[in-house]
Amino acid sequence: MKRFFVMFLLSFILTSVFSEVNFDFSLSPGIVLKNYETNKIPEDVVEWETFDYLPPFFEITYTASSGNNDLFYLSIPILPDASVYYLENNGLHNLPIRKDFIPFVDSDIPYEVFYEISSEPFDLSIGRRKLKWGEGSYSLGINDRIPHMDHLLFSLNWDTSVGDFGYEYVLTIPGPNASDRNKTFVARKLSSEFFSVMFEMGEITLLYNITPNFVDLNPFLVYHNIYEPSSNDAGYLSSTIDLKNYTLYSEFLLDQYQLPTESQSSPPNAYGFMIGGRKKGQKIDYGMEFYKTSTWLYNKGEGNEDFTYPVWKNLLLAEDKTINYFLGFPYGPDVELFKIFLESEHFGIDYEHLVKGTITIDTPYNEEEWQKYSIHGPVPPTTVENILRLDFKIGNNPTFFTQSIFRNKDLWMLVGLEYTFSLKIP
């Protein structure tokens, strides 16, 4: 309740500061149909998917600006507490109540609250929101599968007669309640665009178990050449080619490179790549993608050295839990994924064929394990999953909608009705 009061007080204060204020309200009650029982708190990212994608029963969105170049955004979603959703309600609806109808609201809000300024050639964003790199459905570098990231982001863009050039800096630190996973991520990225082709080159630095200093956080240093202690670096490349209604794109992430002159006992190569394409039609977009992550990508095995982003879950009926989302590709290392999708205004179809090896982010990272397994993966015995996601909506305020996930033999389907309305304060 205290958190709700603070957010509404902040909204009231900002209303007197900004020249244009909007309140948007969304009511989306829904029931869940599924063929399996839900009686425990999820342990990993994959099991959290249905809760992370659960639409809020009620949502208040506050936006304010002082002109055309800035925006303050605050979203207050009213969701059930995750422990109530899984342990008491068997995951059967998105109503924020217990069996005895006592309200139990998710207290991890807000998921999104940020202030951004966009004024050529400079852009700035500070606060909490999802972040993502690349054109693909998933990114190997920074992926929006993470529910929210506390961040500072600024970018510079230059349009010249030769081409367009850009620079982006991202600083993100997991919330204080995940302090047992003491991490800071600093990312820097350069981009260049010539005609219809864009290239990006960047570096993602993980700082762990230390308080970052100026050298660590400096926007204009190539961190890999500084060799500061308690750090882990990955190189990032991406490309995008636009050809009329077609877009081709790719990503490459290099987490570890073993030089030919290095001993075979040194850490092995660790990399990931993706290639994909998308066709934009008059009413339907469609495309396909392929992802591969090598055996030891994101893994360093010791404490906080892996490329995972801890998100703290405050649970009212169970012990609080920290979920380690991958900073990049959400399925982690030792994976091959083939994906096809169709998207339109009223429906979406998404099919994934996932081949997962035996190596996980928790596999011991030592010479004995390196010698035992191929560095390329997937390491046998492999598991295969076929995942189909269907989204459908019809009508315009109110809107009937369904969200479905078929994972091998498991079915999860949300059926709901959405109604929205707005209030504008000039």
Mean pLDDT of 394-416: 94
* 170 pLDDT more than 60: yes
Q: Quick check: 24 and 63 in contact, CB under 8 A?
A: yes
Would you state the structure tokens that stand for residue 294, as one six-digit string?
């090598």
Mean pLDDT, the chain, as a whole number? Answer: 88
CB-hemisphere CA count at 13 Å for 278?
A: 16
Q: Given the structure tokens 């069996």, which residue do they identify?
A: 99
- Residue 336's CB: how many other CB atoms inside 10 A? 18
The Cβ of residue 157 has, within 10 Å, a number of other Cβ atoms equal to 15
Cβ–Cβ < 8 Å for 236, 200: yes
The residue assigned the tokens 């972040």 is 131
Which helix (H) or strand (E) element contains residue 368?
helix 367-372
Long-range Cβ contacts of 87-92 (<8 Å, 24+ apart): 87/39, 87/40, 87/41, 87/317, 87/318, 88/317, 90/37, 90/38, 90/39, 91/32, 91/34, 91/38, 91/50, 91/51, 92/31, 92/32, 92/34
- The neighbouring-strand residues paired with 273 are 252, 292
pLDDT in tens, 287-309: 999 999 999 999 886 668 889 99
Phi, psi of 239 (to 5 degrees): -145, 150
Q: How confident is the model at residue 12, as a pLDDT?
A: 53
Distances in whole angstroms, Cα of residue 122 to Cα of each of 69, 116, 149, 324, 359: 11, 11, 21, 33, 42
Percent helix, strand and coil across the chain, each to the nearest 5:
10, 50, 40
Domain covering 2-425 in this structure, CATH number: 2.40.160
Distance, in Å, from the CA atom of 15 to the CA atom of 17, rounded to the nearest integer, reads: 5
| pLDDT exceeds cutoff 70 at 278 | yes
- pTM exceeding 0.85: yes
Residues comprising the chain, all counted: 426
Domain coordinates in residue numbering, the chain? 2-425
Q: What is the pLDDT of residues 142-167, one digit of tens each?
A: 999 999 999 999 999 998 888 899 99
Please give the full DSSP string across 180-230, using - where no structure is assigned.
TS-EEEEEEEEEEEETTEEEEEEEEEEEESS---HHHH-TTS-GGGT--SS
User: What is the pLDDT at residue 274?
Assistant: 98
Find the mean pLDDT for residues 130-147: 96
How many other C-beta atoms lie within 10 A of the C-beta of residue 397? 8
**What pLDDT shows up at residue 254?**
94
pLDDT band per the 50, 70, 90 thresholds, residue 280: very high
Q: Which residues contact 47 (CB under 8 A, 6 or more apart)?
A: none
Q: Which of 20, 123, 112 is nearest to 61 (CA)?
A: 112
Tokens of 351: 């099919």
Per residue in 244-272, pLDDT (tens digit) is 899 999 999 998 887 776 667 778 889 99
